[in-house]
Amino acid sequence: MYTIEKAGQLADKVYQMWVKAPHVAHHAQAGQFVIFRIDEKGERIPLTISAVDGDSFRVIFMTIGKTTTHLAALKAGDHIRDVAGPLGKPSDLSKFGTCVLVGGGVGTASLPIIARSLKAAGNRVVGIVGARNASLLILEDEMAKACDELLISTDDGTKGFHGFAADLLKQVMAREKVDAVWIIGPAMMMKVTCEATRPAGIKTFVSLNPVMVDGTGMCGSCRVIVGGETKFACVDGPEFDAHQVDFNLLMGRLRTYQPEEKESLERYNAHICACKGGDHHA
Amino acid sequence: MHDRAIDQRLHDFKEVDTGMTSEEAKIEAERCLQCKKPLCVKGCPVGIDIPAFLREVASGNFQKAAAIIKEQNMLPAICGRVCPQEVQCEGQCILGIKEKPISIGELERFVADTERAHGMVAPQKKASTGRRVAVVGAGPAGLTASAELARMGYSVTLFESLHAAGGVLMYGIPAFRLPKDIVKAEIDAVLSLGVDLKLNHLVGRSVTVKELLSYDAVFLGTGAGLPYFMGLPGENLPGVYSANEFLTRVNLMHADSFPVFDTPVKRGSRVVVVGGGNVAMDAARVARRLGGKVMLVYRRREEDLPAREAETQRAKEEGIEFVMCSHPIKVLGEQGITGVECVRMEMCALDKSGRPEPVPIEGSHFTIDADVFIAAIGQGPNPLLISEIPELKRGKRGNVIVDDEFRTSMRKVFAGGDVATGAATVILAMGAAKCAVHAIDKMLREE
């Protein structure tokens, strides 16, 4: 059992949680993730490690289905039954020169730890944080501190630049030499945004988010095609060369359990209503 | 065999074989000739004193029989159920020449089940040696190594990456062959020796190799958990599973009880399983219990199936359709699977393994309608940890190379089970672990 030390809401549908797990916190590096299983009946879900402090680490997630909705309902002092990690390969933290980190929505959660590590390796780091609207923006202050420069975009213009993160990325590329780019967000956002760097041949990393079960390379649920080869995102990734990734396959596989995910969430919500906000951990 | 009726067992995951009664056990054990040089013991990879325990069963001393078995084997309820006895102890039994060999497996199981029902006796432990040993992987090899080392007085830390110990016993073998409460009870008995089990710890990530090597000795029992895929067109369509994924979802995560449990699994109405081993048989029978019409496609002949004969028989009884001498070449579909294109095979000259080499027959393509496809064509050694230790010598297939005492190329690092041999059986992994433990003990006593 792992204790939740702090928990709270960051934005519309977006929550953060600090969990005490020394085996994760003491070994975590930028770009890695954990697997949570909330309770005995729970599923295993992957979440990116977003920050580390002593024996604890932070995850940030959006409520999209049953498990994340349940997770959002947990408070400080509650427990997560299983926390496995850190998992996956760490980010490539070489000295590239100028790095641009682009976060889409909750994908921004992964960026501060990468930004700080890249800075420590001697890079100049420009952050771009994008979201559909101002209420979904997260980690602005933290990113402003971690990066040399921070740019904001919203699809609807409610804050910062009116448009997509990809447009801001192109602006940065137009004004200065960019040596490496990280793009982390929804699959469609990563697919579209990485086209901005393809013509210039700029080294671009994306962090892939396929369906995972064990997260240790023993099932192949998270397989993706990169450069024509089948890779397991949990052990070979989750970061890959953006220009080599088959995003259409990734998005198709992400839809595998859509009907089941809907059924599970509806059942959970019905149960929450039935017990009127009481014990909903059953 | 005391199998439940097919129409009952197809609707649940409860154990198929209900086991022997005390009377049946005594009668069966009395058939033993008590050989002076018992071949059955030689056939057992962990060397259980079979005639001795059978003598106690025949006299009704079931507790004493359990104690004799546990001298050599801490997991008898598991081994009695899943060992391929026909090629081990029972295959050697002298009675098998003229009539039926003694049902040693069923008797071992009976003894273990009887002991568990009456409360298990805590095993004896030697005084502490003050030395620490790390065991990586809580599958059959790691559990056996941990138990043997703890009994010898070593302080054992057992690292497991999943949220439950047991390895393939938990995620691979379905409950209808190996009930999970039984696995848990035998694991608890191992832990009761003082073994410190650390779940959710992936060695190489949650524990560095340096931390690992700070122990006085290390045993690697990380298994062969890397699933092989076939490289077929369409293999990455949603609905195509490795047997590891399909079985993990159902056995470990209880996807058969979705949405009471959160993990989903695709319940195919027409399922194709490719392969002919125990894993293929398990996947097919699980898919059948999830309500699918199941076809098992195997490239060789029925007599070449490597699965345990009893389980092949049960799969047939349960309505699995066997498509022999056939091989998939393409998974069909756009968003999901619609079918599997196969080709017929003919058997040519015997290959290295002594089996006929299957060769595709030109123009013999045919299509099976399917909405779920499960590849059970084998697994390789789990590369994650062993690739983090470059000094560790590995074979062509990624297996850790060991000598006859299960020493690796690194001092104080030992390895046994599937990580050394490639995918094999539970009992061979346990046998390897026991040998490795003796070598570890010898090394540490000489230091």
What tens digit of pLDDT does each residue of B292-325 get? 999 999 999 898 899 988 899 999 999 999 999 9
Say which residue the tokens 């049902």 belong to.
B103
Distances (CA, A) of B427 to A109, B51, B113, B438: 46, 19, 18, 17
Relative orientation angle of helices B62-72 and B50-58, to the nearest 10 degrees: 170
Nearest CA in chain B to A88: B205
Relative orientation angle of helices B62-72 and B104-117, to the nearest 10 degrees: 110
Nearest CA in chain B to A254: B238
Say which residue the tokens 């890397």 belong to.
B226
Mean pLDDT of B340-358: 83
| pLDDT score for B110 | 97
3-state class (DSSP) for residue B66: helix
CB contact under 8 A, A44 and B263: yes
Mean pLDDT of B163-171: 97
Phi, psi (rounded to 5 degrees) for A98: -105, 125
3-state class (DSSP) for residue A21: coil
d(CA A56, CA A72): 18
Distances (CA, A) of B337 to B10, B93, B267, B315: 25, 48, 13, 24
* pLDDT confidence band for B367 (50 / 70 / 90): very high
The C-alpha angle with vertex A132 and arms to A68 and A242, in degrees rounded to 5, equals 80
Distances (CA, A) of B132 to A280, B385, B391, B405: 43, 20, 22, 20
d(CA B275, CA B227): 13
Residues with Cβ within 8 Å of B42's Cβ and at least 6 positions away in sequence, in order, are: B92
Tens digits of pLDDT across chain A (282 residues): 999 999 999 999 999 999 999 999 999 999 999 999 999 999 999 999 999 999 999 999 999 999 999 999 999 999 999 999 999 999 999 999 999 999 999 999 999 999 999 999 999 999 999 999 999 999 999 999 999 999 999 999 999 999 999 999 999 999 999 999 999 999 999 999 999 999 999 999 999 999 999 999 999 999 999 999 999 999 999 999 999 999 999 999 999 999 999 999 999 999 877 765 555 444
Asked, as a colleague might, if the bond just before A86 is cis with ω within 30 of 0, I would say yes
Q: Six-digit token pair at A256?
A: 């595998």
d(CA B194, CA B190): 8
Instruction: Report the percentage of chain B scoring pLDDT > 70.
Output: 99
Q: Six-digit token pair at B84?
A: 């391929």
CB contact under 8 A, A217 and B198: no
Mean pLDDT of B80-105: 94
Neighbours of A107 (CB within 10 A): 27
Q: In terms of DSSP bridges, do strands B379-380 and B226-227 run parallel, antiparallel, or are they unpaired?
A: antiparallel
| pLDDT score for A275 | 64
CB contact under 8 A, B200 and A223: no
Neighbours of B241 (CB within 10 A): 27
Alpha-carbon B402 to chain mean position: 21
Q: Is the pLDDT of residue B419 over 60?
A: yes
**Stated pTM of the model:** 0.95
CB contact under 8 A, A43 and B205: no
**A122 conformational bin, left if phi > 0, alpha if psi -120 to 50, beta if neither:** left
Whether residue B348 contacts residue B359, with contact meaning beta carbons closer than 8 Å, is answered with: yes
Asked, as a colleague might, if the bond just before B123 is cis with ω within 30 of 0, I would say no
ipTM of model = 0.94
When mean pLDDT is compared across B37-41, B58-62, B120-124, B246-250, the lowest value belongs to: B120-124
CB contact under 8 A, B261 and A221: no
Alpha-carbon A116 to chain mean position: 16
Say which residue the tokens 């682009």 belong to.
A102
Nearest CA in chain B to A257: B264
CB contact under 8 A, A214 and B253: no
Say which residue the tokens 């009471």 belong to.
B260
Q: What DSSP string runs through A165-209?
A: HHHHHHHHHHHS---EEEEES-HHHHHHHGGGTTTTT-EEEEE--
Please name the amino acid found at residue B176: F
Q: Is the pLDDT of residue B440 over 50?
A: yes
Nearest to residue B167, comparing CAs of B416, B441, B393, B440? B416
| pLDDT score for B388 | 85
Distances (CA, A) of A244 to A150, A236, B82, B211: 27, 14, 44, 36
Q: In terms of DSSP bridges, do strands A14-20 and A33-37 run parallel, antiparallel, or are they unpaired?
A: unpaired
* pLDDT confidence band for B392 (50 / 70 / 90): very high
| Alpha helix stretches (DSSP H) within chain A | 22-25, 66-72, 111-120, 140-146, 165-175, 187-193, 233-236, 247-254, 258-274
Residues with Cβ within 8 Å of A57's Cβ and at least 6 positions away in sequence, in order, are: A18, A19, A21, A24, A25, A28, A34, A49, A50, A51
- A82, A214, A218, best to mutate vs chain B, most B CBs in 10 Å: A218
Please name the amino acid found at residue B129: T
Q: What is the DSSP code (8-state) at residue B259?
A: T
- A44, A79, A83, A219, best to mutate vs chain B, most B CBs in 10 Å: A219
Nearest CA in chain B to A35: B200
**Contact residues of A toward B, CB < 8 A:** 23-24, 27, 32, 37, 41-44, 66-67, 81-87, 213-214, 216-221, 223, 225, 230, 235, 249, 252-253, 255-257, 260-261, 263-264, 267
Whether residue A222 contacts residue A231, with contact meaning beta carbons closer than 8 Å, is answered with: no
d(CA A140, CA B16): 58
The number of residues in chain A equals 282
Whether residue A202 contacts residue A180, with contact meaning beta carbons closer than 8 Å, is answered with: yes
| Buried residues in A205-222 as b, exposed as e (16+ CB within 10 A) | bbbbbbbbbbbbbbbbbb
CB contact under 8 A, A252 and B198: no
